Structure 1
Amino acid sequence: MGCMSVEVPPTARKVPSQRERHGDVFVDPYEWLRDKENPDVVAHLEAENAYTESITADQQPLRDAIFDEIKRRTQETDLSVPSRLNGWWYYSRTVEGKQYPMYCRVAAAEDDGELDAWTPPAVVAGIPLDGEQVLLDGNAEAEGHPFFALGGAALTQDGHLYAYAVDNSGDETFTLRIKDVQTGEHLPEAIERVFYGLEFSPDGRRLFYVVADESWRPFQIRVHTLGTPVDHDEVLYEEDDVAQWTSIDLSSDRRWLLVSIGNSEYSETRYLDLADPAASLTVLVPRNERILHSAEIFEYDGAAHVLLVHNGRGVEGGPEGRAFNNMVSLAPLAEFAKPLGEQEWRTVVDHDDAVKIEGADVTSTHLLLSLRRDTMETVRFARLDDVFAHVAGPREGGQAPSFAEPAFGEELYTAGASASDYRAPVVRVRYTSFFTPPRIYDYVLATGELLLRKETPVLGGYDPSDYVAERAWATAEDGTQVPLSVLRHASVRPDGTNPALVYGYGSYEVSMDPAFGIARLSLLDRGIVFVIAHIRGGGELGRRWYEDGKKLRKKNTFSDFVAATDWVVSSGWADPARIGCMGGSAGGLLIGAVLNLAPEKYAVAVAEVPFVDALTTILDPELPLSALEWEEWGNPIEDPEVYAYMKSYTPYENVRRAPYPRVAAVTSFNDTRVLYVEPAKWVQALREASTSGQPIVLKTEMVAGHGGASGRYEEWKDRAWDYAFIADALGARELIA
């Protein structure tokens, strides 16, 4: 063990560990830090925390200021807009001084088919509704535990039983319990180590849940019959392929259980008719056709139909004849009993190079479509009568039925829709932008009217006109235009003197969509220009944008980010000596790779739960999620080209003698997605190689998971810590006038 002094960074001892693959030998001196049970490892992480606390102690007043700004702007006693389901209004509420929400309900009036029955009850923050029932108090559940997270919940249709799953360590495995809402008592059964995903059968007698294997891969669907021993639970489905992820969902009408198996490149759907006690799990769309899809089963005019969002089945319009941005098809459920080549799927919405179809859902009367156009996610609606009339007629040109799309009036925004109840005459629409706090609307399906139910209050004199969000484009080294979202205080000018923070992710087809963030205002109020780089590997410009930043094209993600940084300088928005970078998880891999490429361009970097030792992780299929990662990065175990390519960019193995900036790596001891050992090793390598003399620190939450500490106040403290580290390094501690 190295020196325990907080004045000097801890130095982990070197224990050479040799890895040999495809003729390449890599000697790793810090692999021993992987052993969580080793007291020396825990002592080292605690020494790192002590050093970090010492070296950043002067930032505490700034952290306190940012925390207070977040707290002052947040309405701490608040509640969500109630959603109606099966005769009840469900909502959550928070109370000032309490870390966690309470999940509640009140009885709804009889549904007489009129719109008024679907108007949420008038609610006032801090005043419980008459007849309120508390289903779950997160604060009571968290009492006596260092961590609390809710992993899912489900209700029987009669509303009598409430199943919920709780994590008290941060490792994202949960204990499942069932509560009798009428008595407040728990049923005797408790099921350990379940994963995300809970659903009751319509009769409330069976509970379906997901189990993860030792490598944290969801692989089993089990069925618990209430009142029977847990060890008698039936395994409905087990997935043996280590490269597949398994999940469950109920159809919108709650009649069908849908089991989804797949990865980022192809998928399989199976279904179970919950109305038929003799039904068995049946394949709907098999994986051997390698169609990437999602499916919804529903009834229309007395017959069961399947709505599919998919990337094509021998259609023109994309790579390998696929609809790379997805299309929407419809077919009777009976068609799926035939061989796939003989099934007739009718096109509802054809493929479009410029519009990515993200998903589709149904109510009893309407089709809901989620799509991405010009990087923005929005929603459209069509009557099911029109959809079926369209697919029943001649297919000429593949034109879609008439869709209605709400207008919101902003250039950069995010809108999504969901139906809380299949029979509802309204759907809930969620809307936000960078400077518009989240709004909840009810969209009246019959008329297209948008009824504003709530805009999240922002206190402390917040005025959205004080801030500006603009779209810009950076030119990548191969000429590709990379979209940027540039956020700033309205008083900031492009005079080349400002601090700036460039943020990115760029993996798994995840998009960094416009969303309001109270904490981010604290950076903007200090004059920092906040630039989100929508780099390749994300999904902002459709499937091709993602494909062009994964596997053997992954380096486009990193060079795009550097190009975004160069744009921030050339545009005049930033002083080149006052630029920071930030990213988390796969975005932490991005930050690590970018620092190896161009360390001189940044004054500070924050990497949260960073995937910086990616090659070591993916080479070990026993580690959590490693096999699932092969569809994203390639399989370096089997493919020498993938191995060589990953070795050329994985951050830990490419640290070099260079002037690295001030760096904070933030991680969690119980993270199952990115193990703490990755940043722990990376920080050691950075310190040894850096020529700048800038501090490099490791901050480990000793009781937390991939998302950091639990509880909203703890989350605010974490964000204040990160932002204070950045603002201090950029010379932006003070609020601008």
Structure 2
Amino acid sequence: MFRHLTTIVRHCSTTVLRHQNNRYHRSTSYRHPKTPNPPSPPKPPKAPQKPQTFTFHDVTWEDPYSWMSSLQEKVAMRHMDMYMEQEEKYTEAVMSDTERLQTKLQSEMASRLNFDLSTPPVRWGPWLYYRRVEEGKQYPVLCRRLASLNEEFISHKSPSFGFDFTSGKRIEQKLLDYNQEAERFGGYAYEELSEISPDHKFLAYTMYDKDNDYFKLSVRNLNSGALCSKPHANHVSNLAWIKDGQALLYVVTDENKRPYRIYCSMIGSTDEDVFLINAADPFSGMALAWESEGIVHCILEHHQGYFYLFTDASKNGQTIDNHYLLRSPVDSSSNPRIWENVFIDSKDLVIEDVDFCKSHLVLITREGRTHGICSVALPLPDGKQAVHLQELQPYFLTLPKHVCNISPGPNYDYYSTTMRFTISSPVMPDAVVDYDCGGGGGKKWHHDGRRTKKQNSIRDYISCAKYLIEKEIVQENKLAGWGYSVGGLLVASAINCCPDLFRAAVLKVPFLDATNTLLYPILPLAATDYEEFGYPVDIDEFYAIRKISPYDNIQKDALYPAVLVSSSFNTRFGVWEAAKWVARVREQTIYDPKHPILLNLMTDIVEENRYLQCKESAMETAFLIKAMDE
């Protein structure tokens, strides 16, 4: 009985009477030790505000964080460095409880990477070119092997379908190891351009030099593996081989990173590279092939005595919705050159793209929402009259259902009858297809989502998000958005419009400050950027830009979803865009530690580094899981 009463006392939190020595007396109850209070959530840093007033088209606005983009002001950049350190510590603190999850995710992602991973081989002449990753290496190796010996080393045994690299090493030639290139360029390798010479003797390529913020041109001898003594050029934005590989053309940019000169370098020569074209006098020594008004898209091809021009230029002063194909004899003496239509215009069948080989013309087509690809034998009839496509007896390739986009691949071999292309579908992975020749809704559809109509693309995105919820494909409080670069503007604008629609979002190197960037570009912008978002000098387009700019349309006193914004110290990605948006969202919206706004700073370029890709993907996934569980 005594033991029973004692036990009760020990497990009771109130005062009880206990029997002892035939007397009753009051006993103080036992109390559980106090559970320690959970640590308070980390507080986000506050960026210094240094308001600056701007006025344009009689519209005046104040930007408290414009100092973040003052790259030439040393004081501002010191403040920026200090602020970035605070952001980095805050993100680490918020994500500290996901470290084990991130490690596990990264490990699982890395374990699923095939260490014999190879790109599909590209046939060019007698060689098959491809890139593959060796076990334990972060970057790929550019290789080639003779096509005539390839079949001997094809394995059909599970799990190593494809080329048997272990046995096939004796026929493989390594051309460039990007792991070694990483040692030359600050610990990582980021290649922008890569071209094999037509005689298969040289490789011209550009690597990003992070310390100097430009792409450096190198030419490598594929027989010896050594770098050629010239050309060695910086600020290179484009290149092309001529004279069957004896010479290389390359384009260099000015201080604003805009192309402005073309040089020619004779391989093996000790002469200085020849300066061909200057942007100040671009037509010097050149013959005009075609001219149009306004900004249009065009591709010029040369094939068996004809120039072919694929363009979306206006016809007879009327804007058209799609591309069309023209041709003109090379030896035409008319001035200006006369161009003739190849096909009769069709309202039903639209030509999306064209590609040429020696024996065939390949057309990527669209009929309504149905995409197709067909080949037409060359040469085309000599008659000057345009014809219907069906009159040329096109051969259409049978495709899977639900194909939403077809893109031409790297078809280097002009003499091959095999053409490569990629098909995309929402119900299947992208597929690379080799086609033996033997996206979107057209130009108007695209134009309805740009410039003064850019808001339409944001509405479409929101409609798709709501559709997923309405059809119960995703739970109402479990929807996340993800946007990269300009896609980051889309997602951020959708959040501004409907902050309660999303539970979380990931914005990678996003474009968020459209007004200031288009008005006062710090990094050089191309004409295509203004064609997409609008020219702020036009008052209507200026107002449209202001309306879609995520930085200028943050809802005050609203609860925003949890957002992870990733950017880079590398100014090529404009880290201030992300920093300004993060600071203003925190300033103007409701603070909730369960809805953190994080700025993740990437110090390296991750596109070509599989380890960094896994690390970034693991962090993003862990962030989304954490946000859904809060």
Q: Which of 177, 197, 204 matches 1:137?
A: 177
Q: Which of 328, 331, 337 matches 1:331?
A: 328
Q: 1:546 aligns to what?
A: 446
Q: 1:266 aligns to what?
A: none
User: Within 2, Cα distance between the matches of 1:648 and 1:576?
Assistant: 27
Q: 1:384 aligns to what?
A: 378
Q: 1:346 aligns to what?
A: 341
Q: 1:649 aligns to what?
A: 548
Q: 1:691 aligns to what?
A: 590
Residues 281, 100 of structure 1: alpha-carbon distance in 2 compared, 3 angstrom cutoff: farther
Q: 1:459 aligns to what?
A: none
User: Within 1, Cα distance between the matches of 2:551 and 2:237?
Assistant: 31
Query: Deviation per CA, 1:310-355, whole angstroms, max 9, x where unpaired?
Result: 225526xxxx634312122332223485225xx141323x444455
Q: Which of 367, 372, 375 matches 2:361?
A: 367
Q: 1:154 aligns to what?
A: 195
Letter in 1 for 2:392: P
Q: 2:26 aligns to what?
A: none
CA deviation after TM superposition for structure 1 residue 729, in Å: 1.6
Residues 369, 195 of structure 1: alpha-carbon distance in 2 compared, 3 angstrom cutoff: farther
CA deviation after TM superposition for structure 1 residue 366, in Å: 0.3
Q: Indicate the RMSD between aligned Cα atoms, in angstroms.
A: 3.1
Letter in 1 for 2:335: K
User: Within 1, Cα distance between the matches of 2:313 and 2:478?
Assistant: 47
Q: Which of 382, 401, 414 matches 1:410?
A: 401
User: Within 2, Cα distance between the matches of 1:562 and 1:372?
Assistant: 27
User: Within 2, Cα distance between the matches of 1:430 and 1:627?
Assistant: 28
Gaps of 5+ in 1: 110-116, 242-260, 262-269, 271-278, 447-510, 512-539, 733-737
CA deviation after TM superposition for structure 1 residue 438, in Å: 5.0
Q: Comparing both structures, which one devotes a greater share of its residues to helix?
A: 2
CA deviation after TM superposition for structure 1 residue 103, in Å: 0.6
User: Within 1, Cα distance between the matches of 2:540 and 2:212?
Assistant: 33
Whether contact under 8 Å (1:326, 1:351) holds in the other structure is no
Query: Does residue 286 in structure 1 map to residue 327 in structure 2?
Result: no
Query: Deviation per CA, 1:666-689, whole angstroms, max 9, x where unpaired?
Result: 1112142x4111110000000011
SS in 1 for 2:289: strand
Residues 196, 9 of structure 1: alpha-carbon distance in 2 compared, 3 angstrom cutoff: same
SS in 1 for 2:54: strand
Bigger Cα displacement from structure 2, 646-655 vs 625-634: 625-634
Query: Does residue 13 in structure 1 map to residue 54 in structure 2?
Result: no
Query: Does residue 717 in structure 1 map to residue 582 in structure 2?
Result: no
1:381-530 map, 5 Å:
381-385=375-379, 388-389=380-381, 392=383, 394-395=385-386, 401-412=392-403, 414-418=405-409, 419-431=411-423, 433-434=425-426, 436-446=428-438
CA deviation after TM superposition for structure 1 residue 167, in Å: 1.1
Query: Deviation per CA, 1:269-320, whole angstroms, max 9, x where unpaired?
Result: x9xxxxxxxx953332224475532121122xxxx212222225526xxxx6
Bigger Cα displacement from structure 2, 282-291 vs 643-652: 282-291
Query: Deviation per CA, 1:669-723, whole angstroms, max 9, x where unpaired?
Result: 2142x4111110000000011115121011111233xxx4541121122122222
1:7-86 map, 5 Å:
7-36=42-71, 38-86=77-125
Query: Does residue 321 in structure 1 map to residue 321 in structure 2?
Result: no
Letter in 1 for 2:218: R
Say which one has the larger Rg: 2
User: Within 1, Cα distance between the matches of 2:85 and 2:348?
Assistant: 50
Bigger Cα displacement from structure 2, 371-380 vs 689-698: 371-380
Q: Which of 80, 83, 93 matches 2:132?
A: 93
Residues 610, 702 of structure 1: alpha-carbon distance in 2 compared, 3 angstrom cutoff: same
Q: Which of 223, 231, 246 matches 1:182?
A: 223
Whether contact under 8 Å (2:504, 2:627) holds in the other structure is yes
SS in 1 for 2:179: helix
Query: Deviation per CA, 1:105-145, whole angstroms, max 9, x where unpaired?
Result: 23454xxxxxxx99797321444442422111011111262
User: Within 2, Cα distance between the matches of 1:598 and 1:321?
Assistant: 39
Residues 100, 6 of structure 1: alpha-carbon distance in 2 compared, 3 angstrom cutoff: farther
Identity of aligned residues (%): 26
Whether contact under 8 Å (2:340, 2:384) holds in the other structure is no
Residues 659, 200 of structure 1: alpha-carbon distance in 2 compared, 3 angstrom cutoff: same
CA deviation after TM superposition for structure 1 residue 79, in Å: 2.3
CA deviation after TM superposition for structure 1 residue 373, in Å: 4.9
Q: 2:10 aligns to what?
A: none
User: Within 1, Cα distance between the matches of 2:241 and 2:388?
Assistant: 42
SS in 1 for 2:300: strand
Residues 640, 445 of structure 1: alpha-carbon distance in 2 compared, 3 angstrom cutoff: closer
Letter in 2 for 1:331: S
Whether contact under 8 Å (2:342, 2:385) holds in the other structure is no
SS in 2 for 1:75: coil
Whether contact under 8 Å (2:566, 2:600) holds in the other structure is yes
Query: Deviation per CA, 1:149-179, whole angstroms, max 9, x where unpaired?
Result: 1121223333222222111429873111112
Letter in 1 for 2:478: R
SS in 2 for 1:699: strand
**Bigger relative contact order (CA 8 A; separation at least 6):** 1
* TM-score computed with the length of structure 2 as normaliser: 0.83
User: Within 2, Cα distance between the matches of 1:120 and 1:235?
Assistant: 48
Q: Which of 601, 604, 615 matches 2:501?
A: 601
Residues 170, 288 of structure 1: alpha-carbon distance in 2 compared, 3 angstrom cutoff: farther
CA deviation after TM superposition for structure 1 residue 219, in Å: 3.5
User: Within 2, Cα distance between the matches of 1:102 and 1:621?
Assistant: 37
User: Within 2, Cα distance between the matches of 1:240 and 1:633?
Assistant: 27
SS in 1 for 2:625: helix
Whether contact under 8 Å (2:237, 2:253) holds in the other structure is no
* TM-score computed with the length of structure 1 as normaliser: 0.72
Residues 120, 90 of structure 1: alpha-carbon distance in 2 compared, 3 angstrom cutoff: farther
Whether contact under 8 Å (1:170, 1:670) holds in the other structure is no
Q: 2:23 aligns to what?
A: none
Q: 1:451 aligns to what?
A: none
Bigger Cα displacement from structure 2, 651-660 vs 329-338: 329-338
1:605-644 map, 5 Å:
605-621=505-521, 623-625=523-525, 628-636=528-536, 638-644=537-543
Gaps of 5+ in 2: 1-39, 155-162
Bigger Cα displacement from structure 2, 360-369 vs 648-657: 648-657
Q: 2:624 aligns to what?
A: 726
SS in 2 for 1:133: strand
Residues 49, 127 of structure 1: alpha-carbon distance in 2 compared, 3 angstrom cutoff: farther
Residues 563, 158 of structure 1: alpha-carbon distance in 2 compared, 3 angstrom cutoff: closer
